Structure 1
Amino acid sequence: MDDGLPSYTTLHVTIDTAIARITLDNPPVNVLGGTLVRELHDLLGRLRDDRSVRVIVFSSADPEFFLAHVDIHILDEMDDLREIADRAPHLNLFQGVGELLRHQPQVTIVKLAGTARAGGAEFVAAADLAFAARETAGLGQSEVLMGIVPGGGGTQYLRERLGRNRALELLLTGDKVDADTAAAYGWINRAVPAAELDAFVDGVAERIATLSPEIVAAVKELVPPPDLTDGLRAENAAWAELVSGELPPRLMREALRHGVQTREGERDLESVLRTVAACL
Structure 2
Amino acid sequence: MTEPNYKTLQISRRKRVVTVSINNPPINVLDLTLMRELRSFLASVRDDSETRVIVFESADPEFFVAHVDMTLGERPDDLAELQRDVPTGLNPFQAFAEAVRGQPQVTIVKLAGLARGGGAEIVAAADMAFAAEDRGGLAQCEALMGIIPGGGATQYLSQRMTRGRALEVILGADMFDAKTAERYGWINRALPADELDGFVARLANNIAALPDGVVAAAKRAVPPEIEENGFARETEGWMSLVFQPSVGQLMAGQLKAGAQTRDGERDLESLLRNVMERSA
Normalising by structure 2, report the TM-score: 0.96
Query: Structure 2 counterpart of 1:9, which letter?
Result: K
Query: Residue type of the partner of 2:208?
Result: A
Residues 50-94 of structure 1, C-alpha deviation per residue, up to 9 Å, x if partnerless?
011000000001100001111112223454354553331311111
Is the CA contact (8 Å cut-off) linking 2:52 and 2:207 kept in structure 1?
yes
Unaligned runs of 5+ residues in structure 2 are: none
Secondary structure at the aligned position of 1:72 is classed as coil
Pick the aligned partner of 2:3 from 5, 28, 31.
5
Q: Contact 1:54 / 1:213 at 8 angstroms: preserved in 2?
A: no
Partner residue of 1:154? 153
- SS of aligned partner of 2:78: coil
Aligned residue for 1:22? 20
- Counterpart CA distance in 2 for 1:228 and 1:33 is 28
Partner of 2:168: 169
Which of 64, 67, 85 does residue 65 from structure 2 map onto?
67
> Which consecutive segments of 4 or more residues in structure 1 shift more than 6 A?
none
Give distance in 2, aligned partners of 1:120 and 1:69: 5
Match of 2:124 in 1: 125
The 2-side partners of 1:72 and 1:239 are apart by: 15
Moved more, 232-241 or 107-116: 232-241
Alignment identity in percent? 53
- The correspondence of residues 1-280 of structure 1 with structure 2, limited to 5 A, is 3-77=1-75, 79-85=77-83, 86-228=85-227, 230-280=229-279
CA distance in 2 between partners of 1:49 and 1:84 (Å): 24
TM-superposed CA distance for 1:279, in Å, is 1.4
Q: Which letter maps to 1:98?
A: A
C-alpha contact (below 8 Å) 2:109/2:123 kept by paired residues: yes
User: What SS does structure 2 have at the residue aligned with 1:132?
Assistant: strand
Per-residue CA deviation, residues 108-153 of structure 1 (Å, 9 max, x unaligned), is 0000000001111111000000000001110010000000000000
Give the Cα–Cα distance (whole angstroms) in 1 for the partners of residues 207 and 141 of structure 2. Answer: 33
Deviations, residues 198-229 of structure 1 (Å, cap 9, x unaligned): 11110110110101231110001101111345
- Structure 2 counterpart SS, 1:213: coil
Provide the TM-score with structure 1 as the length reference.
0.96
TM-superposed CA distance for 1:238, in Å, is 1.2
CA offset digits 1:227-252 (Å, max 9, x no partner): 34511111111111200112211111
Q: CA deviation at 1:265?
A: 0.2
Gaps of 5+ in 1: none
CA distance in 2, matches of 1:213, 1:177: 38
